[in-house]
Amino acid sequence: MFLAWREIKKEKMRYGLVITVVMLISYLVFVLCALAMGLARENTVAIESWQIKSAVMTRDANGNAGQSLLTEQEARSLQQKRGAAILGITPTTMKRAGHRESVQFIGLHANEFVKDRLQVVSGRLPQHADEIAVDTTLNHARYPRHETVTLGLSATRYKIVGYVAQAQYNMAPVVYGDLEAWSSIKGVSNDYAGSLAVYREDAPNVPRELVNYSTKQLIDKLPGYVAQKATFGLMIGFLVIISMIIMTIFLYILTIQKLPNLAVLRAQGIPNRFLTRNTLFETGVIVMSAVVIGGGLAVMTLTLLPDTVPVYISWPVTGLIALGLLLTGLLGTIVPIRLISKIDPASVIGG
Amino acid sequence: MTKEVLAVRHVTKRFGQGENQVVALQDASMSVRASEVVLIIGPSGSGKSTLLTILGGLQTPTEGEVRLMNEDLQALTQRDLEKLRLDKIGFVLQAYNLVPYLTVADQFKLVDQVKKTPNVAEKTFERILRRLGIVAMTHRYPDELSGGQKQRVALARALYADPTIILADEPTAALDSERVNEVGQLLAEIAHQQHKAVVVVTHDIRLQEFADRTYEIVDGRLSEKS
Ligand SMILES: Nc1ncnc2c1ncn2[C@@H]1O[C@H](COP(=O)(O)OP(=O)(O)OP(=O)(O)O)[C@@H](O)[C@H]1O
Ligand SMILES: [Mg+2]
């Protein structure tokens, strides 16, 4: 530590440069990560807010709840198990005073568990078939409380009675309403009772025409979700690897330049581990200051982004990324540490 | 008679095999006592550096024995040798003696970081710094010092650990005549006043007048000059 601090102090320019480069990379990683999670949440946050364990829908829907139609009979038998709830989901358009909004309508039964899990931010949950509660991102002048809107094919005017947090599904804001309203909004006959059944616990065994999905399977079936996650994951992974390579190159060049001095120190009896520990410590200082500055800048940038850009900062994930950057940085010291351990102290005497 | 600090007995060092074999040292014997300056003088390629690395425990001889403070260097592990170099040997080299990003004061503090045995007494060290004329430079970095000043700091650094023996490799290579005399005098003082054994390897005959004894080395053969 003794050598590391003094070296960084003397060589501010060099270390400043490498910290800047690693900082920019970690900045990019943090911003990308927040964007990725923001997008992911727009897909899944509603499902996550229900805290379900499994879901059952028709086989023909291929995991896309909006395409699934359960008959009255199927719904009744699926409801038999405790902790079941029937939901009617349909993508639709919400209209009011010339404004149009693409939304996901989700109809709920009044006395089933999903309704108890919704997080009402203001107002209340719908109690009648012509009442709705909408996602908080719609809580603005165009969709004020107590006003009425039209939904999809239904002729009814629905009254906004409240706003619900974490109500986004498949990249659209969710409008929660009564299950009875679902069929008319979707424009299907009354023979159908809903789209899918969700369960607090494992789903019961189902006949061949139906399929049982775990929550993770349900989320992964969302159109584009897996591809999106993989794309961001790859970008973040590459950036972390690039930062490791930069660290390695930098530490390698620095160590090469110091080799004659390090050889003298070895000849003078300064142990190898002292010099190795020093290099590790230097790397730690570089990565940590880069991560702290990059993280700070990223948070600043993210808060300044307009609301239309979905962003989500997850502290556990951020911590994990910081740890990842630190570990890969330390991995980058393998090369210089090998260089140091191969120094022949006898080489200092000669000329 | 002061005690023998270093004893070299019948040391031979060969590099390579067969046709390419080089005999860098041939049956070299010598001894160094406390409070004396021993000069090893010889032309280029005669084996001076080889001898010094063997004396400092940086290389092992092919044959023969080196004893420092009556301890057989070949019987020691790498770790023991490292500790020996840290505690008992002060190296003064031609170049790169100083860590470029440490101030003069920190060059000494670095020794404290790794060395467990006590260093030279503070009073004595102050006297050494004053004698070397570097008291006012303790906050400077090596790149802010002249060649002669650097060499004096290197001497102070070597003395700081309170070694038994100083091994100097061409300490005057980069210096003009005036500085050569200065360094020669300092080495003699260190031997006579601090009671260190001082071994200087050089091809600089100007240092001869400061030596108590001189060995000559030619083609790996060592002999004492009378
Ligand atoms: N590692 C080595 N491998 C092979 N030969 C070596 C090695 N080190 C030294 N030699 C040879 O041993 C001989 C003595 O070399 P040494 O470096 O000790 O000479 P020197 O007296 O220090 O010369 P100079 O004054 O030029 O520094 C030379 O012929 C040299 O080529
Ligand atoms: Mg030499």
* pLDDT tens digits for range A270-328: 999 999 999 999 999 999 999 999 999 999 999 999 888 889 998 998 899 999 989 98
**Per-residue pLDDT, A211:** 92
Cβ of B159 below 6 Å from ligand 1: no
> Is this structure's pTM higher than 0.90?
no
Residue of A nearest to B53 (CA): A346
Point out the ligand 1 atom lying closest to the alpha carbon of residue B15: 4
Residue B188's pLDDT band, with cuts at 50, 70 and 90, is very high
B56 lies within 8 A of chain A by CB: yes
* pLDDT tens digits for range B90-109: 999 887 789 999 999 999 99
Residue B181's pLDDT band, with cuts at 50, 70 and 90, is confident
Rounded Cα distance, B124 and B130, in Å:
10
Percent of chain A with pLDDT over 90: 55
Cross-strand partners of A192: A71
**Distance from the alpha carbon of residue B221 to the mean position of ligand 2, in angstroms:** 15
Cβ of B218 below 6 Å from ligand 1: no
The strand pair at B4-15 and B63-68 is best described as: antiparallel
Q: What are phi and psi of A64, to 5 degrees?
A: -95, 105
* pLDDT tens digits for range B3-37: 899 999 999 999 999 889 999 999 999 999 999 99
**Per-residue pLDDT, B3:** 82
Interface with B, mutate which of A13, A14, A348 (most B CBs under 10 A):
A348
Point out the ligand 1 atom lying closest to the alpha carbon of residue B50: 18
Which pLDDT tens digits describe chain A residue by residue (351 residues)?
A: 899 999 999 999 999 999 999 999 999 999 999 999 898 888 899 999 999 999 999 999 988 988 999 999 998 889 888 889 999 999 999 998 888 999 999 999 888 899 889 999 999 999 998 999 999 988 777 888 898 999 988 888 999 999 999 999 988 999 999 998 999 999 888 889 999 999 998 878 888 889 999 999 999 988 888 998 899 889 988 988 888 888 889 889 988 998 999 999 999 999 999 999 999 999 999 999 999 999 999 999 999 998 888 899 989 988 999 999 899 888 888 999 999 999 999 888 875
**Largest separation between any pair of C-alpha atoms in chain A:** 97
Closest CA to A180 of A107, A124, A84, A277: A107
Q: Phi-psi category of A329—alpha, beta or left, where left has phi over 0 and alpha has psi -120 to 50?
A: alpha
| Burial (Cβ within 10 Å: 0-12, 13-18, ≥19) of residue B50 | buried
Rounded Cα distance, B114 and B97, in Å:
17
Decide if B173 and A264 are in contact by the 8 Å CB cutoff.
no
The strand pair at A99-108 and A172-178 is best described as: parallel
Asked if A328 contacts A243 with a C-beta cutoff of 8 angstroms, the reply is yes
Query: A with B: how many residue pairs have Cβ under 8 Å apart?
Result: 77
Q: What's chain A's average pLDDT?
A: 90
* pLDDT tens digits for range A109-152: 888 899 889 999 999 999 998 999 999 988 777 888 898 999 98
Rounded Cα distance, A31 and A34, in Å:
5
Mean pLDDT for the stretch of residues B53-66: 94
B93 lies within 8 A of chain A by CB: yes
DSSP A199-238: ESSPPPP--TTEEEEEHHHHHHTSTTHHHHHHHHHHHHHH
Residues 6+ apart with CB under 8 A from A156: A129, A130, A150, A181, A184
Rounded Cα distance, A70 and A75, in Å:
6
Cβ of B15 below 6 Å from ligand 1: yes
Q: Output the six-digit token pair for A327.
A: 């570990």
Rounded Cα distance, A191 and A254, in Å:
75
DSSP chain B: -PPEEEEEEEEEEEESSGGG-EEEEEEEEEEEETT-EEEEE--TTSSHHHHHHHHTTSS--SEEEEEETTEEGGGS-HHHHHHHHHHHEEEE-SS--S-TTS-HHHHHHHHHHH--S--S-HHHHHHHHHHHT-GGGTT--GGGS-HHHHHHHHHHHHHHT--SEEEEESTTTT--HHHHHHHHHHHHHHHHHH--EEEEEES-GGGGGG-SEEEEEETTEEEEE-
Decide if A269 and B97 are in contact by the 8 Å CB cutoff.
no
Amino acid symbol at B141: Y
